[in-house]
Structure 1
Amino acid sequence: MTAMPAPEISPASPGVVFSRRSPISTIARLIRNPLDAIPPETFIHPLVHVEFNGVRRLYITDPALIQEALVKNSASLGKGDEVRRALGPALGDGLLTAETPSWKWQRQAAAPAFQWERLKGFLPAMIDAAEKRRDLWALLPHRQLDIGHEMMQTTFDIIVETMMSGRENIDVAAVERSVSDYLGPSGWMFALGVLKAPEWVPYPGKSRAGAAVAYLRGVMRDMLERRRASSEDRKDLVGMMLAAHDPETGRGMDDENIIDNLMTFITAGHETTALGLAWTFHLLAAHPDVEQKICEELHRVVGNGNVQPEHIEKLTFLKQVFNETMRLYPPAPIIVRNVEQPFDLGGHHLPKGMVLMIPIYAIHRHKLLWEAPERFDPSRFAPEKAKERHRYAFMPFGAGPRICIGSAFATMEAVAILAVLLQRFRLANPGRRPAEPLMRITLRPRNPMMMELADRPPFCSPLEPA
């Protein structure tokens, strides 16, 4: 007996909420801050249906349904035109933007660089970069700094040292400016994509974004040309991609494809971790009790000396703090997928062409998934609580087969940087103002996070709360 097909999903489907926000309001929000364009219903309901400009969108916040869509039905989903329009000019056909099967063999080529044993070998370089930042801070003639900028530089140093065997002639300040120039008008990119406007349509910041992409890809091209001219066989990510071949076709990566992936790791890779670190320092400035617990753990694990690679895995509370920051401020706040092949989800039939929106920012603050979701509470990530939470209720690095390949690298890097810097310094928010999150593909603060630097007693002896 043939099973009855599931009814096609619609605003009238049981369990589905229809968002009635006006199209004009949605476009204005997309341009100003795409984070605000997430329908408010997604924070309290599992499925929210939106129809706009002839395209049907389904926001999914139920972890079980997210798992069913992104894992069980991953082969039926594609990245879609909106992702390509926003990221394609910079990242080309790299890991973040490629469709299967191109994505699959590229990931296989990069995977050895992120194996656990190899990652642990990166710890000395991570700690060394953090110590260099610590020593630079100690020499500052003033005591105020832009923590976002400082973390961008630190994580950039780490990714080029570990993945490219050194920065060579790369100007980190120019790279940082170019990444910001490219991401700056991304709200316009999203809005024009939703409107299905031709790609030639001008918008504020477009020419600057184009120049930034040209500069960044040029930097990667120059580095790659120097590497090809060198006879040195380096076992880093660049070397792995130069040697990679598709097991099915035998073709290797051409220079543009390697540049696509270097752009992915250099921009997205260091940017997301840096933002997570900046948000962590911002939250700690408002929660001295949590910072004191970090100090106690550092003093207990590290003792009267410098942070060593073997200490990182033992800093469990510090990892909880970083995870809780990534819950409140996920670096990539939305996942977008297009239904390429129809399938059923939770008793509903999803037609070809429907756009699935996985609003990670809303999932991480969902009232049905988290108690007091707006509260900063690292105890949520205590080891004993992991079994109480659905795996897909917390997904700062995405989910399914296309989960971020560098998730373990990023977490290890963040814990190492926090450990080294918090052992020596305390950062305060002089204005006592919360920073406003702004989605520019990644989740940045709207304004620079200016923080005041204070020395800490030796070996992280806790300071009394101010």
Structure 2
Amino acid sequence: MKKLIDEYPSLIRIWLGNQLYIAVTDPELVKKVLQSPKTIEKGDVYRFVRPWLGKGLILGPAATWRVHRKLIAPTFNMRILESFIEVFARQSEILVREMEVELGGNEFDVLDYVARCVLDILCETAMGVPSTVQTRRDSPYLNAVKTVEDTIFTRMFKVWLHPDIIFYSTSLGAKQKNCLRYLHNYTDDVIREKRTQLNNFSDLKNTESSENSKLSRKAFLDLLIELSNEEMKFSNEELREEVDTMMGAGHETSASLATFAILMLANFPEIQQKCYDELCEIFGDEVNEQTQITRDDIRRMEYLERVIKETARLFPVGPILVRNVTDDLDIGKCVLPKGSSVIIPLIELHRRADLWTNPFEFDPDRFLPDEVAKRHPYSYIPFSAGPRNCIGSQFAMMSMKILLSTVLRKYILQKDLKIRIQDMRLTTYLILKSVNPIRVKILRRQIMK
């Protein structure tokens, strides 16, 4: 598909069997597609993920999605997210302590460390349940997630495995069933533990608590449990599916993007130095100390935010969006017929030479306000766009800024050999990943005097 898009202009017809796909890379046409109520439904290709995530926010049909999105949106209020800053910072400090065994050594696979950190962050903030995955040597949850990803990816590209009756009679289908059983049981355990905490909350109501701690009780899972208990708007199955969506999709996307950002910082030491200089301005003499990060500190990390955005441009975690066309849609140049599907390849959109000067150059200053104003707003949509955009984008940005700044305050990131972005081999296991492990080495930063 990438080769076809490179060779032909936007609006490419691609037939896979009897299914028509139209690839769109023109920002204005992308806008028309993503804003239309006729393309709210996710593509049929996502059906292979439903045994894992069910009909949660990401995969749910439009009618279900509209109701759940409205109910869940308050969970991602900025005031609530800011109440989790302490958790982001504490788990990031655990990350740098766990990475300390790699000091002065050879390059190591950084994704494993980051994935564990992100999972602990997600459990404690979005779920409201503490987690200690970082300090364990082995994580059955992460192992099960990887296995499920592998089986889904394999099934997608082997047409003879598409029918359920065939897939579930194979060893691959049996393996997926076993892993999903574990993951769903894990989610059920999280829900049960949270219910117990909420039931016991009345015993703690006389203890001293801040406004932030009160807000934290309105986290993702808290809201869903309250709704399922009081208004019965969520069935038990819907409750689990939304939790699975947050645990599965939220964890993988944040871990992948943060790992690519670490690679870019190691690969471009001059950009890493600018990030560290910014941190020195924010924290002063305490830049290398374990000082509490505040919301004002996060807001001042402007250059680091641009680094994250540039990373998301080159390595969008969801490299391809697919939407079903539920009714004929006139987008100006043509009419997209009912029953077809639209492909929006973000990785191509974000690397188009006519939209981005020197598209393979890593340049965070592309996201200075003046530069952003020059571009079409739909030329950069790493978290999708329109009414069905990613609800957790602010959560991801805040957690990544704290994670990356904590790492940079402790360590210098290095690569033995600089890599060219255009030479990187990428694949999509539901989300974008590097074919080869992302490896960096770390050195301890000198304490400022």
| Band of TM-score, shorter chain | 0.7 to 0.9
1:33-432 alignment runs, 5 A limit: 37-42=1-6, 45-71=9-35, 73-85=36-48, 87-138=49-100, 140=102, 143=105, 144-167=107-130, 173-192=139-158, 197-202=162-167, 205-230=172-197, 231-233=199-201, 234-244=217-227, 251-305=232-286, 306=291, 308-309=293-294, 310-430=296-416, 432=418
Q: Tell me how far apart the structure 2 counterparts of residues 42 and 341 of structure 1 sit (CA, whole Å).
A: 28
Measure, in 2, the Cα distance between the counterparts of 1:127 and 1:168.
Answer: 15
Deviation at 1:347, TM superposition (A): 3.0
Shift of 1:433: 5.0
Contact 2:120/2:132 (8 A) holds in 1 = no
Contact 1:125 1:162 in 2 (8 A): yes
- The one-character-per-residue Cα deviations of 1:98-150 (angstroms, maximum 9, x if unpaired) are 01221111112221110111111111211111112122333557735321111
What is the RMSD of the two structures over their aligned residues, measured on CA atoms? 2.4
Q: Deviations over 1:62-92 (max 9, x none)?
A: 1111111111x1344421322122x101000
CA 1:380 to 1:426, structure 2 compared with 1: closer, same or farther past 3 Å?
Answer: same
CA change 1:450–1:351 in 2 (3 A) is same
Write out per-residue CA displacement over residues 22-68 of structure 1, whole angstroms, 9 at most, x where no aligned residue: xxxxxxxxxxxxxxx43442577222221221211111111111111
**Paired AA for residue 455 in structure 1:** R
Aligned to 1:9: none
Q: Secondary structure at the match of 1:452?
A: strand
**Worse-superposed segment, 310-319 or 440-449:** 440-449
Distance 1:220 1:370, change over 3 A: same
Contact in 1 for aligned 2:129/2:190 (Cα 8 Å): no
CA distance in 2, matches of 1:146, 1:307: 28
- Amino acid corresponding to residue 293 of structure 2 in structure 1: Q
CA distance in 2, matches of 1:100, 1:391: 24
Q: TM-score, normalised by structure 1?
A: 0.84
SS of the aligned residue for 1:402 comes to coil
1: distance between equivalents of 2:98 and 2:331?
53
Deviation per residue, 1:314-362 (Å, 9 max, x gap): 0100000010001111111111011111121123111111110011111
Distance in 2 (CA, whole Å) between partners of 1:135 and 1:215 is 29
How far apart are 1:255 and its partner, in Å? 1.9
| Residue 169 (structure 1) shift | 8.3
Local SS of the residue matching 1:438: strand
Preserved CA contact (<8 Å) 1:44 1:366: no
Which residue is equivalent to 1:6?
A: none
Amino acid corresponding to residue 226 of structure 1 in structure 2:
E
Secondary structure (helix, strand or coil) at the match of 1:308 reads coil
Q: Helix, strand or coil for the counterpart of 2:166? A: coil
Residue 139 of structure 2 aligns to a residue in which SS? helix
Distance change in 2, residues 1:432/1:207 (3 Å): farther
Structure richer in helix, relative to its length: 2
Give me the whole-angstrom Cα distance separating, in 1, the residues matched to 2:227 and 2:147: 32
Is the CA contact (8 Å cut-off) linking 1:129 and 1:157 kept in structure 2? yes
Q: Is this contact kept in 1: 2:316–2:432, CA < 8 A?
A: yes
**Contact map agreement 1:44 1:367 (CA 8 A) in 2:** no
What's the offset of the Cα at 1:404?
A: 0.6
Identity level (%): 26
* Compared CA separation, residues 189 and 243, structure 1 to 2 (3 A): same
Q: Which runs of 4+ in 1 moved over 4 A?
A: 139-142, 168-172, 431-435
- Whether the 8 Å contact between 1:152 and 1:270 is mirrored in structure 2 is yes
Gaps of 5+ in 2: 202-216
What is the number of equivalent residue pairs in this alignment? 419
Contact kept, 8 Å, 1:436 with 1:446, in 2: the verdict is: yes
Q: Per-residue deviation at 1:228?
A: 3.2
For the residue of structure 1 that corresponds to 2:62, the secondary structure is coil
Aligned match of 1:445 in 434, 438, 444? 434
